[in-house]
Structure 1
Amino acid sequence: MRTTAKTSKIKRYMTVVNDTRTADKSTDLLETLLASKSKADKHAKEVVALAEKYNFTGVEIDYEQIRDNLSLWKKFLVFEKALYARTKKAGLDLRIVLEPPTPVSKINFPKRPEYVVMCYNLYGYGTNPGPRADYKFLKKTVKDFSSLGKISYALSNGGFDFNGDEVTSVTGSEALKIKKKYKAKAVRDKKSGALYLKYGSHTVWYADQTTLQLWAKTLDKASGKKVGISIWRME
């Protein structure tokens, strides 16, 4: 991959996830990759080699569903330290994505990498209808992760279409199409800034540009400073 003068200053991260061909967010995969210190270092070496091969400027690790598995977190920290050493030597940035349920108070995360905390899916698959985030959830997330060093936050546009036990992910533009098709009225929720509308037996909750701006301001205020924001996902 070649870079031009116009794009050479843009940071390009290679995101690594723990998905397999048969399972999403596989902790079994992580148990295998990080089973020992030597295996964790081997995995770190392979990640950095791949990032260098394709001319990325940084690595982003998005390993999910570890939740309260402290034994696996211990192995992850060994990997993270090995990866940080290798990315630093290679001149690559390192970013670690964390889910809201991460038991931060029980894990001694290194201060040097950047951490990106997912601020969404408060409601979604397997829950009652509701927004992907609300103000209370965002403030709690900032408080829970305040012990980390360099930290930014990820917000999600779009939302979900709830119909009984059936839940379908929708983008912002898809929600607008539903609104137009069924001539539904969208109402902005005071506790979250998100929009919701109803058609038939369905309830659709989603975030628009205004919602994202309100969420970002909430995070800024709770953090006491301007914070970095990532958006999942761009349409």
Structure 2
Amino acid sequence: MWQLYQFPLCPFSRKVRLLLGEKGIGYEPVRELPWQRRDEFLDLNPTGQVPVMVDTERGVTLIDSSVICEFFEETVSKNAMLNGTATDRAEIRRLVLWFDNHFFGEITAPLLQERMLKRIVYKQSPDGQVLRSAMKAAVSHLDYIDYLLDHRTWLAGSTMSLADLAAAAQISIADYLGGIDWKGHEEAKGWYLRMKSRPSFRPLLAERMEGIPPPADYDKLDL
């Protein structure tokens, strides 16, 4: 069976887990805290980053969420998440990169640094200015999601795709860390509630990072 090395607040691991859930692929989650720099994990991935998927029986190791998702898109036909025409797939990939790079860099990464790493690794207090900047950036990104959903049923088109999984993975971490304000973003909120209601999402909502509780409405299916 596949093993997925990840930790609860890794958005890229969440993207992979959502895809695995949508495709019905079984796996064993393995808790890995990358900042611990375990030798055994560095042997799997010298960069020390999660997610990493391993099938020891077949001797296969997959590194990086994009690589993992593309691998299962190519090998498991059920519930394609890179679907449609070549133009459709290009738009899906564009939005995956948008959320993996821009949303992560401007919102998820600062929130993780200030509200997770500073607390459990460095034993420091968060920087309020950094948190305010991340939450302001989140508003702009929710505006963009509203715009997309004004023209589409899902983020990249008429059907759910990897773009929705990548976006929901990032937003769910930002939401866990108290960085999302849904006021004035009805389109984005409705889309996110649809994502939260999917069976693939339920295991993620049940997970907690020790010492870092989410907001009270984090796992509720209404906001």
What's the TM-score once normalised by structure 1's chain length? 0.28
Higher strand fraction (1 or 2)? 1
Higher-Rg member (1/2): 1
Q: Give 1 or 2: higher helix fraction.
A: 2
The TM-score with structure 2 as length reference comes to 0.29
